[in-house]
Amino acid sequence: MRMRGKFLTFEGVDGAGKTTQCDAVAQALAARGVAFVRTREPGGTPLGEELRGLLLHRAMEPITEALLMFAARREHIAAVIEPALARGQWVLCDRFTDASYAYQGGGRGIDTTRLDTLAQWVQGALQPDLTVLADVAPELAQARRARVREADRFEAEALEFFLRVRAAYRARAQAEPQRFIVIDGARSPDAVTAEILQRLEPWLAAQR
């Protein structure tokens, strides 16, 4: 039977550099001949991408927002993530459930026990094997974002919101140190990539 693929997720406040790291890891895996699927949340399926359009641009109530995030996630897990892992492919996902705890929990103030219930329902035992948290001061992330693009509904939130998002991310990383690698998003991207790849090395060696 083929070995199950590894599930890697990339998290951080908007503008922290998680997408750059996801790109770099994708390149490194391709160079080593590891089969992988790269995807994102919210999104990753045709239905999920439609929900993403609503989530990023349409005003809605926080509970609605949380439910739609998990609805998109369910579709994504069933149609993309689980089948890929079962085929032995790695999955690189730009954001996953930790983002719901950070943004809907920390940012919007939704009770964590409610999110636990949704997570249990939607993903059962599925957890990332490794989560890269790009951690950077929200002030810096905000300045970076402002240089490159127009704000969506989340990015338009005040600094206070992002301070809560960051605190929630860090609390999750502290609670599960074996799953998370927390990187200082203010460091040079290449040094950060090298650190992530070092962490992946045992898994890569097992594939050879």
Of 21, 41, 130, 162, the one binding ligand TYD by CB under 6 A: 41
Which CB sits closer to ligand TYD, 88 or 189? 189
Which CB sits closer to ligand TYD, 103 or 169? 103
Which CB sits closer to ligand TYD, 6 or 164? 164
Structure token pair of residue 13: 């406040």
Of 94, 123, 130, 193, the one binding ligand TYD by CB under 6 A: 94
| 14: contact with ligand TYD by CB under 6 A | yes
- The answer to whether 40 touches 94, Cβ cutoff 8 Å, is yes
- The answer to whether 39 touches 93, Cβ cutoff 8 Å, is yes
- The minimum distance between CB 137 and ligand TYD, in angstroms, equals 17
| 169: contact with ligand TYD by CB under 6 A | no
> Rule CB under 6 A: which of 173-202 touch ligand TYD?
none
Of 7, 10, 90, 154, the one binding ligand TYD by CB under 6 A: 154
Distances (CA, A) of 61 to 50, 104, 123, 133, 155: 18, 11, 23, 27, 17
The Cα 82–Cα 7 span in angstroms is 10
Of 100, 123, 131, 142, the one binding ligand TYD by CB under 6 A: 100
* Angle in degrees, 0-180, between the axes of helices 189-207 and 18-31, rounded to the nearest 10: 40
| 69: contact with ligand TYD by CB under 6 A | yes
| 17: contact with ligand TYD by CB under 6 A | no
- The answer to whether 98 touches 179, Cβ cutoff 8 Å, is no
187 contacts: CB under 8 Å, gap ≥ 6: none
- The minimum distance between CB 5 and ligand TYD, in angstroms, equals 20
- The minimum distance between CB 41 and ligand TYD, in angstroms, equals 4
Structure token pair of residue 19: 């997408």
| 138: contact with ligand TYD by CB under 6 A | no
As beta bridge partners, residue 182 has 133
Structure token pair of residue 130: 């490794």
Q: Give residues in contact with ligand TYD (CB under 6 A).
A: 14, 19, 40-42, 69, 94-95, 99-100, 103-104, 154-155
